[in-house]
Amino acid sequence: MSDSIGKVKAQKVTLKGKFELECGQSFNDIELVYETYGVLNADATNAILICHALSGNHHAAGKYENEEKPGWWDSLIGPGKAVDTNKFFVVCPNNIGGCHGSLGPNSINHDTGDYYGPDFPIITVRDWVNSQAKLSDLLGIEKWHAVMGGSLGGMQALEWSYLYPRRIKKAGIIAAAPKLSAQNIAFNEVARQAILNDPDFEGGRYLDKNKYPKQGLKLARMVGHITYLSEEAMRSKFGRELKKEKLNFGYDAEFEIESYLRYQGDVFSESFDANTYLLMTKILDYFDPASNFEGKLVSAFESIEAQLLVVSFSTDWRFAPERSKEIVNALIEAKKNVSYLEIDSPHGHDSFLFANEDYVKGLSAFLEN
């Protein structure tokens, strides 16, 4: 039966040595926080790597002491769940550039003694995957049973499959795209402009000046949040419901959707770093595996050995099913082992976070076959 993993704690590790980034810069020693659930078997063949998306972190499942809210993928990770922690050893790191304990813009740059802030180099999906491979070495995992994630997390799983073909048995690429569309980038740019133009942004040095671009980050999140929901989900959840009985002819939050978005923006802006948000949107924009192969995705996938499962959701318009099919069709053409599932779900892009029955069955069949 499905149950919660219970109380969890984060762990910290230092990846020693020089770490070269795709942009040409490098780090010395990288601190990464991560969580694990379940038990690694003796021959280390039951490990699953979970990659988080734009606003995610290492807290994927279970609850912290004294906290009510479980991890972001608690619906799918736990005993008897889609990612069954009775069978699998699950690892979820906070990626470099994050703001929840791993090396990121809100870390101190030991060379200068100041926060990295805007000087933090632009990271790529490839850099993340390379850092995750180093983490695998430290954990004694030569080959992952599976690497999986939703959205930007799915892009990391995809990158794993062709970058480290021998180190991954399966890849779960969920609600992802082979690259961002102009519309995707446009939404990211609006989010960035909201942050960059907040007077408290201070050119990214807000931490040094004891300020915080809360309004900018809030706005960025509000725009982002709209793209995570489907029109259908918004209509059924909020419709044109008013907070009060009648219109008050003003600019306060009158409709429920306004108040919901403001609330989401507020909560998010209090727990996330603005520089990290900027960085994450850039990582998304830059992801384009075909770009090194004259735009040919099929060629980018040549080295893949893993079995892949691509999953999309019917009402996702941020990374619509058509975008997943681009990945699938290139994999078919490259004669790779791929399965594709299109799940009927009303929750838009956020669908990947919900334990939809078909989705759960598909995932567990894939992980356990």
Partner 1 sequence: MNTIEVIKNWIDKESEVLDLGCGDGEIINILSKEWGSRVLGVEINQDDINKCIHSGLNVIHQNIDEGLGNFSDNSFDVVIMSQTIQVLREPKKALQEVTRIGNESIVTIPNFGYWTTRINLLLSGKMPVTGTLPNTWHDTDNIHLCTIKDFENLCSECGINIREKCFFNKFGKESVLAKVVPNLFATTAMYKISK
Closest separation in Å from C-beta 172 to partner 1: 11
Contacts of residue 284, defined as CB under 8 A and 6 or more positions apart, other chains included, come to 54, 152, 155, 180, 184, 188
Q: Is 252 a catalytic residue?
A: no
Which tokens go with 262?
């403001």
Shorter beta-carbon distance to partner 1: residue 277 or 340: 340
Classify burial at 225, counting beta carbons within 10 Å of its beta carbon; exposed 0-12, middle 13-18, buried 19 or more: middle
Minimum distance, C-beta of residue 357 to partner 1, in the bound complex (Å): 9
Kindly write down the DSSP assignment for every residue of 259-294, as one continuous string: HHHHHHHHHHHHHS-HHHHHHHHHHHHH--GGGGGT
Nearer Cβ to partner 1, position 257 or 363? 363
10 Å CB burial of residue 311 (0-12, 13-18, 19+) is buried
Do residues 133 and 35 lie in contact, with contact meaning Cβ atoms separated by under 8 Å?
A: no
- The catalytic residue among 316, 324, 345, 350 is 316
Catalytic residue, candidates 269, 349, 350, 351:
349
Instruction: Between 96 and 310, name the residue whose CB sits nearer to partner 1.
Output: 310
Smallest gap from Cβ 358 to partner 1, in A, equals: 5
- Residue 270 and residue 133 in contact, taking contact as beta carbons nearer than 8 Å: no
Q: How far is the CB of 82 from partner 1 (least distance, A)?
A: 12
Quote the CA–CA distance of 106 and 98 in Å, as a whole number: 8
Token pair for 82: 């889609």
Question: Smaller CB distance to partner 1: residue 73 or 340?
Answer: 340
Nearest residue (CB) to partner 1, 264 versus 339: 339
**Which residue among 75, 102, 151, 269 is the active-site one?**
151
Active site residue 151: yes
Tell me the closest approach of the beta carbon of residue 29 to partner 1, in angstroms.
41
* Structure tokens belonging to residue 224: 């982002």
Phi, then psi, of 359 in degrees rounded to 5: -65, -45
Token pair recorded at residue 95: 């990626």
Are the C-beta atoms of 118 and 203 separated by less than 8 Å? yes
Smaller CB separation from partner 1, 7 or 361: 361
Structure tokens belonging to residue 259: 């108040």
- What's the min distance (Å) between Cβ of 336 and partner 1? 9
Q: Least distance in Å: CB of 141 to partner 1? A: 22
Binding site for partner 1 (CB under 8 A): 307, 309, 325, 328-329, 332-333, 335, 337-342, 358, 361-362, 365-366, 368-369
Looking at the Cβ atoms of 235 and 335, the one nearer to partner 1 is: 335
Q: Which two tokens stand for residue 284?
A: 């998304």
| Dihedral Cα 32, 38, 42, 48, nearest 10 deg | -60
Neighbouring-strand partners of residue 83 = 77
Q: How far is CA 194 from the centre of its chain?
A: 21
Q: Which residues are catalytic?
A: 151, 316, 349
